[in-house]
Amino acid sequence: MNATGTRYSPPWIFAITNIPYGVAGTYSGVAMPFILHKHGVPLETIAAIGALSLLPAAYQLFWAPVLDLGIRRRSWLILCSCLGAICLAGTLLVKLPNQLFEYEVLMVTGQALVGLVASCNGALVSTTVNPSARGRAAGCVNAANLGAAALGGGVVLTLFNSTSPEIAAIALAAMIILPSFGALYIHEPPPLKEPLVQHMGKMGTEVWRAVRARRGWTGLLFCISPVGTVALTNLFSGLGGEYHVSGNMIEWINGYGGGFVTAFGALASGYLLDKSDNRKFYLLAGVLSFVCCMVLAFAPHNAITFIVGTLFYLLIAGLAYASFSAVVYEIVGTAGSTASTLYSVFPAAGNQAIAYVLFFDGKAHHAWGTRGLFLCDGLLNLAGVAVLLLLLKVVFPDRKKLVEPAPEIVVPVSSGIIDVSVPVGAPSYEHELQETAEIASYPPSVKAPAGPVTVAAYADASGPN
């Protein structure tokens, strides 16, 4: 709780509430292919089912607005986890290969439901966590997602092979459902009650205002850029043979070991993000990706190069994931009742960036081999950093630090006066005041403060947030 009486949610709680999302994703990507193959399903069919299971993530933007309707988002998180867990556990109980269609329906439905957990968590972090702690929350969210890989893949496969499908199904459901109840510890006020049509119109207006604002559209450019996509994490398991690495070592690096390194990178980055500029850290992830790729491109093709290079790249991935989340939380924090809808816009853009970088990386590997692959990935990151730096230099020029406070500014809003107090020396920018005046408003049911409230604007030389 801060000095004004606002209750904030602790960042660590999101290391628990995002476990369902991580478990479901890893179950689909790791356990599902093994189980289907064991039941004699052709590889071509397995690939098609895998592609279908990814469709909900690609189109989640279109049904995520339901999370901004009716009940609290923390309630949606629990509900989606429970229903999704039932569907995914059901995939372990159908008779394969005879009931393959039922398997596909349960898998896609389960992924669609549990996928909404990410939007719930993103909106809750943005709106209920102290802004000064969003970096730590970003680290916790990504560490949970990455750490859950051992549960969704390793534990389910172990139980499926050593016990029975029924026990594996119960364990999978428990690993998705139980962590979701951590959402009850999140301090979220009840949503405002207003007519559906009015609320939908308000959602569209607020999302458009947030994306149109300078911080919003530049954040969207960050997300669709090749910077920090760390796309090679999807290809390392197929490159080990070219470096003469044993199968067990490849499995460890791309499984438990790599997951731990990436989760550590995300957690450590979270604390640093709270003390610095999120966007600069995002660019730093791109620069480090470039350096790592250059080393891998020209280093000897042996096991040591692969092991050290891959682990360093995965550590950078943790930084990139946490920085991406922190940038998005910063933007979505102004959304209020439309946070889930607005949050879904940015991961959708980020997924498109990963897809096109993977496409170009694959083409480069086909044309020029492993060296071409690393050169392509590294140069895409470097080019993206250069373009984004130019953008920041033009759109967000550095502001000279003021010794004395700027003149007081009265900021009117639609139903009253916004009450904003900025401590001396705190980073703030004139364009943010304009955006705040555009976005913030008091709902009809809330009485606006009486009389004008002034805002003292300060600027420093630390650059934009």
Contact 39, 96 (CB under 8 A): yes
| DSSP character string of 268-284 | HHHHHHTTS-HHHHHHH
- How many angstroms separate the CA atoms of 244 and 257, rounded? 19
Q: Is the pLDDT of residue 351 over 70?
A: yes
Give 283-301 pLDDT, tens digit per residue: 999 999 999 999 999 999 8
Q: What mean pLDDT is predicted for residues 447-465?
A: 37
**For residues 123-137, average pLDDT:** 90
Percent of the chain having pLDDT more than 90?
A: 31
Cis status, amide bond into 412, omega within 30 of 0: no
**What average pLDDT does the structure give for the chain?**
79
| Other beta carbons less than 10 A from residue 90's beta carbon | 19
Query: Of 61-75, 175-189, 391-405, which one has max mean pLDDT?
Result: 175-189
Q: pLDDT, tens digit, for every residue of 398-416? A: 544 333 344 444 444 444 4
Residue 211 pLDDT level (bands cut at 50, 70, 90): confident
| Identity of the highest mean pLDDT range in 49-58, 244-253, 312-321 | 312-321
| Global pTM value | 0.72
**Ramachandran area for residue 425 (φ above 0: left; ψ -120 to 50: alpha; else beta):** left
Residue 232 — very low, low, confident or very high, per pLDDT cuts 50/70/90?
Answer: confident
Q: CA–CA separation, 103 vs 100, rounded Å?
A: 5
The 10s digit of each residue's pLDDT in 11-56 is: 999 999 999 998 998 888 778 878 888 888 887 788 778 777 877 8
Domains delineated in the chain? 1-191 (1.20.1250.20), 194-396 (1.20.1250.20), 400-465 (no CATH)
**The 3-state secondary structure of 406-452, one letter per residue:** CCEEECECCCCECCCCCCCCCCCCHHHHHHHHHHCCCCCCCCCCCCC
> What pLDDT does residue 196 have?
65
In this structure, the dihedral spanned by the alpha carbons of residues 254, 256, 257 and 258, taken in order and rounded to 10 degrees, is: 40
